Structure 1
Amino acid sequence: MNCKYFGECGSCRDYEGGYETQLLNKVESNKKRFADLYKGDMDICRSPQSGYRARAEFKIWHIGDEIHYAMNALEHKGVVIIEECPQVNVYIMDLMPKLLQSIKEKKMDKKLFGADFLSSLRGEIAVSLLYHRKLDGEWEEKAKELSQELGISIIGRSRKQKVTIGKDHITETLHVQDIDYKFMQIENSFTQPNPRVNEQMISWALNQFEGLSGDLLELYCGAGNFTIPFSSKFDKVLATEISKSSIAAAKNNMLLNDVSNIEFVRMSSEEFVQALDGVREFRRMGEVDISSYALKTIFVDPPRAGMDEASCEFAARHENILYISCNPETLYRDLKYLSKTHEVQKMAVFDQFPYTHHLEMGVKLIKRGR
């Protein structure tokens, strides 16, 4: 990827030597990190070298009467004014200057401080415009014009206010192992930013389930990004997630993909463990018949903080563990605990965030002595 802001913009920090060099640096450092837990090869899932982000957030910077896109500078020393961003996909890249010009022409820029883009691989786009002022009827009429002219959905956000013009979501289609999966992705909610790497992650994870039987338990399921494809490998899936909007999207995604063997429960992983162990009772578990599940396999995809000790202890009860992590540091900590009872059988790296030190990883663990 060629970017004229390398060395200034804080979004990309590891660009010397090009894409393959930055990827090799991350892979080698993590091979060393996990050397005492795993000696085998790591599967490597590469990213497109540019145009890989389908989700992007930019500051809107005011200089006199003009507005610009901006990003944090390296080491957070102010901001860098940008005209383009080679990270984003072609649809967002094409829209960026048009959107800024239209906002200025329609005088919608008063106290505007951010623009968040969410795009599908087929070009459906929702843009969230973030303001430090209340949005009134005049703004809404202008936003409707903007939406129609550019063929996008507009979501206006200010404190305790959300105004939606069009839809507050897009529908993404991911192609995984010759199957198309459809997903509702809601603005201002977590989605995987790099869809081509996401497809590879899902495919790799599916391969780790070959030969397994019974039912699957998933913690931190989000909107069902993994859950929906995984349902084809198991008789039943029980999945938990704390976010109300994500659970609603996950249930909708079941319908989009004609899947019926998943039961979604809105609970945190900690609450779920407490419910199963009888520590606390939850009304949300009232209709779940745990005794009907043969849970030999657990899948976890926690936030950057990883799992707490209670969740690790709970995961260790299962014969098979599949762990997707967005933070190798907390993954190492959790694997040290899980390795007391399980053996790391397979590892993979997913270059979800090229030109940064961030790396997603996948781990398959099997209970020792089974």
Structure 2
Amino acid sequence: MNCKYFGICGACIVYEGGYEAGLLQKVELNRELFTPFYTDEISLFKSPSSHYRSRSEFKIWHEGEESIHYAMNRADKNGVLLIGECPQVSSAIFTLMPKLLKAIKREKIDFKLFGADFLSSSSGEIVVSLLYHRTLDSTWKETTEKIADELGIYIIGRSRGQKVIIKQDYVTEILHVNGDEFRFNYIENSFTQPNSQVNEQMIGWALKSLQNTDADLLELYCGAGNFTIPFAKKFRKVLATEISKSSINAAKTNMLLNSVDNIAFVRMAVEEFVEALDGVRVFNRMKDIDINSYEIKSIFVDPPRSGMDEATCRFASRYENIIYISCNPQTLARDLELLTKTHKVIDMALFDQFPYTHHAEMGVKLIKKI
């Protein structure tokens, strides 16, 4: 990726030698970190070297009353850098950025505008969230509807306590995994995987890791069903938990989009779910689920950056097969200290979701020791 802001913009901090050099550095760091648990080759799944981000956030910077710019934090943390383009973002977002800024200024809707967040699909659908320090009135809405029609996009206006939707607040992504097609509604301001092509590879690896199992699957931290729905094609039944109400609602919508009917989504914290599973407490949210009808041998977890706590690791250790996807190698290594007391790591993968940074997504497959 050629970027005129390398070394100045804080978004990309590993850029010397290009994409391959940064990736090699990332691989070596993680190979060393996980050597106590796994000494075979770590499978590597690369990202495109540019136009890989399907979601991105920019500041809007005002210079006097006449001009506005996109801006990012500087790498030296000394203020902001005004930018005209960003080759990280998807081709659709890249093309839209200057057109949108020009339309915003032309139509005079830039007053107290301080941010623009972009969400795109692989087919080029885009939702843009415009963030304001003022109340948005009917005039703003009428003007912004005209811009949305002109540019062929969806727009969300946000200010304190206010969300104004122009057309719709989601894009529909189509993922292609191992010859299958999966459809997902990605909702503005909710978590989605930022790198669609690496996400497809990640789902493919997880499916392959569970291909020789039978019975049912339990998933913790299921989000909007990114993994759950593909898993449903491989298992008799899937039981999936997530604490976020909006994510659970999105997951149920995505289940319908894919004509899947063998998933039970439950809005519950992991601690509550363990209590329900063990009969310690009765939860109304579980009233329609017959826990005794599940034969669970495999568990899939994709926790937040903080990883899993000790109690959740102990719970996961009950099952024969554990698939762990982690966005934080440090907390994954911490959790493996506990999980490898009962399980053996038989496969690891590195997914380069975040090129030109030190961040990596890791995948681990563990099986119970005999």
Place the TM-score, normalised by the shorter chain, in its bin.
over 0.9
Structure 2: distance between partners of 1:329 and 1:75? 25
Coordinate RMSD, CA, aligned: 0.8
Partner of 1:347: 348
Deviations 1:122-161 (A, max 9, x none): 0011100011111111111111111111110000011111
Whether the aligned pair in 1 keeps the contact of 2:299 and 2:319 (CA below 8 Å) is yes
Structure 2: distance between partners of 1:242 and 1:138? 38
Deviations 1:179-216 (A, max 9, x none): 11100100000000000000000001110012100000
Whether the aligned pair in 1 keeps the contact of 2:8 and 2:76 (CA below 8 Å) is no
Partner of 1:274: 275
Q: TM-score, with normalisation over the residues of structure 2?
A: 0.99
Structure 1: distance between partners of 2:230 and 2:78? 43
Partner of 2:228: 227
SS at match of 1:207: helix
SS at match of 1:146: helix
Gaps of 5+ in 1: none
Structure 2: distance between partners of 1:276 and 1:235? 19
Q: TM-score, with normalisation over the residues of structure 1?
A: 0.99
1:92 equivalenced with 2:93 (yes/no): yes
Partner of 1:38: 38
Q: Per-residue deviation at 1:273?
A: 1.5
Partner of 2:173: 172
SS at match of 2:303: coil
1:323 equivalenced with 2:329 (yes/no): no
Q: Aligned pairs, how many?
A: 369
Identity score, percent: 66
Q: Which amino acid aligns with 1:318?
A: Y
Q: Per-residue deviation at 1:277?
A: 2.5
Deviations 1:233-262 (A, max 9, x none): 110000011111111111111111111110
Deviations 1:309-337 (A, max 9, x none): 11111000001000000000000000110
Q: Which amino acid aligns with 2:216?
A: D
Deviations 1:269-293 (A, max 9, x none): 2221222233433211111111000
Q: Which amino acid aligns with 1:232?
A: K
What is the correspondence of 1:233-248 to structure 2 with a 5 Å cutoff? 233-248=234-249
Deviations 1:6-53 (A, max 9, x none): 000000000011111100101111110011111111000000000001
Partner of 1:151: 152
Q: Which amino acid aligns with 1:38?
A: Y
Partner of 1:81: 82
1:294 equivalenced with 2:295 (yes/no): yes
Structure 2: distance between partners of 1:262 and 1:279? 24
Structure 2: distance between partners of 1:108 and 1:282? 48
Gaps of 5+ in 2: none
SS at match of 2:9: coil
Q: Which of structure 1's runs of 4+ aligned residues deviate more than 3 A?
A: none
Structure 2: distance between partners of 1:230 and 1:113? 40
Structure 1: distance between partners of 2:79 and 2:278? 50
